Amino acid sequence: MPILTCFSLALLAVSPALQAQDDVDVEGLVEFDDTSLDRSLNGGVVSYSESLVDARPAVVSVYAKSLGSSYSREELLMQQLFGITPRRQQAPQFGLGSGVIVSENGYIITNNHVISQADEIKVQLDSQKIYDAELVGTDPSTDIAVLKIESEESFPTIRLTDSDEIEIGDVVFAIGNPLGVGKTVTMGIVSATKRQDMGVISGGFENFIQTDAPINSGNSGGALVDAMGRLIGINTLIQTDGASTGNIGIGFAVPVNLAYSVMTDLIQSGSVSRGFLGVGIEGLDEDKAEFFGIDGLKGALVNQVNAGTPAADAGIQSGDVIVEVDGVGIDSPNDLRVRIAARKPGDEVQIVLIRDKERKSLEVVLAERGSDGRIISHGSSSSSFLKGVTVEGITEELREEHELDEGADGVVVTAIDANSPYVRMLAPGMVIKKINGKDVSTYEDAAEALNPEGKNMFLISYRGANRWIGIEVE
């Protein structure tokens, strides 16, 4: 089935991120309402206007503009440093989505796909006043982004509630700017929760709320609220039958608990820090469940344990079936990924697994996973020696993957976090040959040569061309 994000146009360049503020008390900025929903009034409600009166003004239109280049960040960087001509160019493009103001000082949650490639972002409120928006940060792994607008006056806000408490059949409302017609409210119910394995966020974490409240292009980033007008999700995408691109009653929203957690990390540190276990996993079928001694088909079957990871250190083995994390049952492989990713590096988790048809409990201290889905390891051969930049010594596999010259020597950049402060200076495939005049060929060489508290001079090679680049460590 085709899956569509509810954004009117994809754009083509990257916005700079607002500086992280680790001293911000995010919890004090937003309003939570944990009042239990009254589900005893079936058939007795004739209007929800009073419930929505505060929620509607907090939903805004988000306008994203690219300034006329469809070049990737890497192409523009290579043109600037090495004179390599980008492959294509096009006129400025515009896109429309929605967003939700969650604090009086102007923090807005929206979808990453609404603004991820925009050069300029503007936000329009119900008053018709338009504000320039700064990008606080993005998290492609959950399709969440955070914006900030400024004013001497307080902005209208929406109350948040615990999205884990919603139930199938609860009345919900989708609020946004579909197709650019203006602020629109549509009504439906919660059709399902924990929709996973949709395959729409490559390498990401999917745990959607499903609703039949009509959602269309332009609704992306808007609010999904309950019958009390409280935010329970961020509308993100729809599923179609392939015959049309419009709504057929199957829409999906990121739960607000997840969106709020991502927002907190982005505001305080500029990136999302996730727990990492280090296993390959798959689902169960009847034959596997019988062989491994599992009642039912719930759990995550381990098919690989990566060396040097928390899983290996804790003694997890291939053939183990993970059935619980911290006392909560695991339904599927994606359920395990979501639960581990929701924890922080350094957290200790209790994992219950089935091995040789017997239950076994293990304590595991989680490591770190980058917000782009790549592992940020801290071993000797591959690591993040600049914030969000992963380098490795050159191997034949990396030489082939990045099309490196046979004589290339140094460390190759293999991954860079989307929110790294060095995202405009370095890119995957670049080879770092020297740092401050010293040859480097391993991570240890690079870490030793780096001045961690000031300016550095890098000799960078790309497709046989060399350039010196000054980089100041942040």
Same-fold call for 274-369 versus 382-472: yes
Instruction: Please identify every residue annotated as catalytic.
Output: 113, 143, 220
CATH code of domain 1-34+49-272: 2.40.10.120
Place of tokens 């009847």: 286
> Would you say 160 and 30 are in contact if contact means Cβ atoms under 8 Å apart?
yes
CA distance 23 to 25: 6
Q: What is the three-class DSSP state of 352?
A: strand
What fold, for 382-472?
Answer: Pdz3 Domain (2.30.42)
Q: Map out the domains of the chain as residue ranges.
A: 1-34+49-272, 274-369, 382-472
In this prediction the pTM is 0.66
- How do 358-365 and 348-355 pair as beta strands? antiparallel
**Domain 274-369 CATH superfamily:** PDZ domain (2.30.42.10)
CA distance 322 to 280: 12
Q: How many CB atoms lie within 10 A of CB 323?
A: 20
Output the tens digit of pLDDT for each of the chain's 474 residues.
555 556 554 433 344 456 667 777 888 888 888 888 776 666 567 789 999 999 999 999 999 987 655 556 666 666 666 666 665 555 566 788 999 999 999 999 999 999 987 889 999 999 999 999 999 999 888 999 999 999 999 999 999 999 989 999 999 999 999 888 889 999 999 999 988 766 667 667 788 999 999 988 888 999 999 999 999 999 998 887 666 666 778 899 999 999 999 999 999 888 888 888 989 888 899 988 988 889 999 999 999 888 888 999 999 998 999 999 999 999 988 889 888 988 888 999 999 999 999 999 999 999 875 444 444 433 333 445 688 788 888 887 788 888 888 778 899 988 887 777 888 888 888 999 999 889 998 888 888 899 888 888 899 988 778 888 888 887
CA distance 60 to 105: 15
